[in-house]
Structure 1
Amino acid sequence: MRPTPDNVFNRLAQRQLPWEWAWAWFATLPAVAQQARLAELADYIQQAHPTPALVQQALAEAPMKPTATPLVLLRVHGLPEALRRIQQLPPPEYPNAFRALLSLFSIADAHRRRTECQHGCSHDWHNLPPLP
Structure 2
Amino acid sequence: MKYPIAIEPGSSKTAWGVVVPDLPGCFSAADGGIDEAIEKAKEAIELWIEIALDNAKDVPKPSLITDLQKKKEFKGFIWAIVEINPALLSDDIERVNISLPKRVLARLDAKAKSAGENRSGYIAHMAIST
Fold-level similarity (TM above 0.5)? no
Give the structure with the higher percent strand. Answer: 2
TM-score, with length taken from structure 2: 0.27
Greater gyration radius: 2
